[in-house]
Structure 1
Amino acid sequence: MAHTLPPRTPVDPLALGELRELLADGDVVVLTGAGMSTASGIPDYRGPDGTRRVQPMQHGEFVSSAEGRQRYWARAFAGWGRFAAAQPNAAHRAVADLERLGLLRHVITQNVDGLHQRAGSRRVLELHGTLAAVTCLDCGERTSRDLVQQWLVDANPDVLTGLDGLAQVRPDGDVALPEALVATFRTPRCLVCGGDRLKPDVVFFGGSVAKDVVERAFGLVEGASALLVLGSSLRVMSGYRFVRRAARDGIPVAVVTRGSTRGDAETTLRLDALVGDVLPGLVADLGG
């Protein structure tokens, strides 16, 4: 069953004014989620009611199961072209503009698409890593995802034929494929150690964000004048914990996203709106 959001309503001008004042003070840290990239053609995992719409790859399955890795790489191979072709949207560009205006201390993103950097943001902490890189779990060798894609093209020359009608690419770059095709897919191997446990440099569901990354993110939040959450339902603790820390320390928390969030109780200011409907106007008002 398709999930649909309620019709878009005008942004509350009073709340918008409060958000403008919050940003004007500067030293704001931004936490972004999948809602930042939906306008770029990369959907989120959850419906508007917070229910997960598709089952993502699980860390334990990828690490321990050759079949799981085969399924992931076949699907990721088929979806990579469209995922890599995604372009930054107006919200990404607005965040970069706010940094250029000296109003943002840093961006912490839960996304793995690299669109903040491509839009011009320079201070970005990727909480869940990046799909642009691949790491061997056995020897630690790091390789570009584009190079791995070329290996896979060479090893599976016929797979991409006739895949134009596939469902939309998913947040981690993969698409659903027929099991018969997955079963014959040849997975990548490390050129250094020969192992088959090559993993995209991202945190899968069930995995843990590196401790040093978490500590750095906490440090950014603790030094901020405010925490601005953009396009995230905060259903996952890896992002929600920073809202909790900010609220604990008396740091204002502003949220711009459609629908409710897990952090509503800790939120100081909330705008139920698409980030693309809010951020470009704010940049214009603030001198951008």
Structure 2
Amino acid sequence: MRLGGVLRCRSVIKQQYVPQHKPVLNDDIKRLEEFLLSRPNILVLTGAGISTESGIPDYRSAGVGLYARTNHKPIQHSEFLKSDAVRKRYWARNFVGWPNFSATQPNATHYALARFERELRIQAVVTQNVDRLHSKAGTKNIVELHGSGYVVKCLDCDYRIERHEFQNILTSMNPAFSDAPDMIRPDGDVEIPAEYIENFKIPTCPQCDGNLKPEIVFFGDCVPRERLDAIAKMIYTSDGLLVLGSSLLVFSGYRIVLQTKDLKLPVAIVNIGETRADHLADIKISAKCGDVLPKLFDYRPTT
């Protein structure tokens, strides 16, 4: 296959997780640009909808989200704490999927936000995503609301290890998973035989022998208080909020909108389909973020 065909194929694969959407209107781009120009200290909140264009599926999008395509359900914090079997299943799936997940690259929206930060058009990015794509794109001032998949921590002490290094440890402990790439389905989900999961070995903490967990806020867990306080201060010193690619159904994200409106600050939302905060938005654009953000401020990339 020629290079052009390969690039087109990769583009199709990345776009398979983007919900159906209409083309963005030029008037909407102009409205959002004027909104940002008048508020150079805007805070940005991003959700899974900006990473779907990089090939990472979200949970809830109609027809293409994980809930619609597979029987995969998000891990519950309480189940992870209580059940050795749940921890084995989680880490086995995570182990198989990690090479693809960690190799994912930012898309035009991530790069646009990094540019806006350099040009002093935004204050910071608060992201609900755990994929580190904002960092890969070059954004510096980031708060990872739900943590990061790139760090593993002990549940009982202060031990931490980088996820790439942890992958090497898992590889050495589970030689039977040498055929792990074959367990990734064409839709990107992971299919692991039950006997593999039952025999999957997970190291304990080398400091205290406790259980290890990714530094991610699982469903049912709480965002650390200091992180919430830091975000509240950022909202207070901002002049508005821009929400990108989030349905805001998770309260930790919706709360940021409520805090912004409590301060009588404006909110703009760009998202395919409805969100929980549409009734609070001063501007709502139902479009793909990648069709909007890169076109702001008359930007033309160099060739």
TM-score (norm 2): 0.87
Asked whether 1:116 is paired with 2:141, we answer no
Residues 55-94 of structure 1, C-alpha deviation per residue, up to 9 Å, x if partnerless? 1111001111111111110000000000010011111000
Deviations 1:243-268 (A, max 9, x none): 11112221111111101001111111
Gaps (5+ residues) in structure 1? none
What residue in structure 2 maps to residue 141 of structure 1? 159
**Structure 2: runs of 5+ lacking an equivalent:** 1-15
Matched, 1:193 2:213: no
Within 1, Cα distance between the matches of 2:96 and 2:193? 11
CA distance in 2, matches of 1:31, 1:3: 20
2:179 aligns to what SS in structure 1? coil
Aligned to 1:237: 251
1:60 aligns with 2:78: yes
Within the candidate set 180, 192, 195, 1:180 is matched to 195
Alignment match, 2:11:
none
- Aligned pair partner of 1:31 in 28, 39, 45: 45
How far residue 194 of structure 1 moved from its aligned partner, in angstroms, is 2.5
Structure with bigger helix share is 2
Q: Deviations over 1:190-246 (max 9, x none)?
A: 122233x10001100111000110111111112211200001010100100011111
> 1:257 pairs with 254, 268, 271, which one?
271
Deviation at 1:284, TM superposition (A): 3.0
Greater relative contact order (CA < 8 Å, ≥ 6 in sequence): 1
**Partners of 2:56 and 2:66 in 1: CA distance:** 17
**Percent same amino acid among aligned pairs?**
42
Corresponding residue to 1:205 among 215, 219, 222: 219
Residue matched to 1:217: 231
Provide closer, same or farther for how the CA distance between residues 283 and 59 of structure 1 changes in structure 2, counting only shifts above 3 A.
farther
SS of 1:31's equivalent in the other structure is strand
C-alpha separation in 2, matches of 1:241 and 1:4: 25
Residue number among 154, 161, 171 corresponding to 2:172 in the alignment? 154
- Per-residue CA shift, 1:18-70, capped at 9, x if unaligned? 21011112101000000111111111111238994431111001111111111
Distance 1:40 1:66, change over 3 A: same
> Aligned match of 2:294 in 271, 280, 283?
280
> Using the alignment, how far apart are the partners of 1:79 and 1:104 within structure 2?
33
Greater shift in the superposed pair: 271-280 or 242-251: 242-251
Shift of residue 5, structure 1, vs aligned partner: 3.7
Q: Is the 8 A contact 1:23 1:103 kept in 2?
A: yes
Q: TM-score, normalised by structure 1?
A: 0.91
Q: Secondary structure, in 3 states, of the residue corresponding to 2:292? A: helix
1:160, 1:58 → 2: CA distance?
28
AA paired with 2:201?
Answer: R
**In structure 2, what is the equivalent of residue 11 of structure 1?**
24
Contact 1:4 1:48 in 2 (8 A): no
Does the CA-based 8 Å contact 1:40-1:89 persist in structure 2? yes
| Residues 183, 191 of structure 2: 8 Å contact kept | no
Opposite residue 242 of structure 1, the aligned amino acid is I
Alpha-carbon distance change, 208 to 169 in structure 1, aligned in 2, over 3 angstroms:
farther
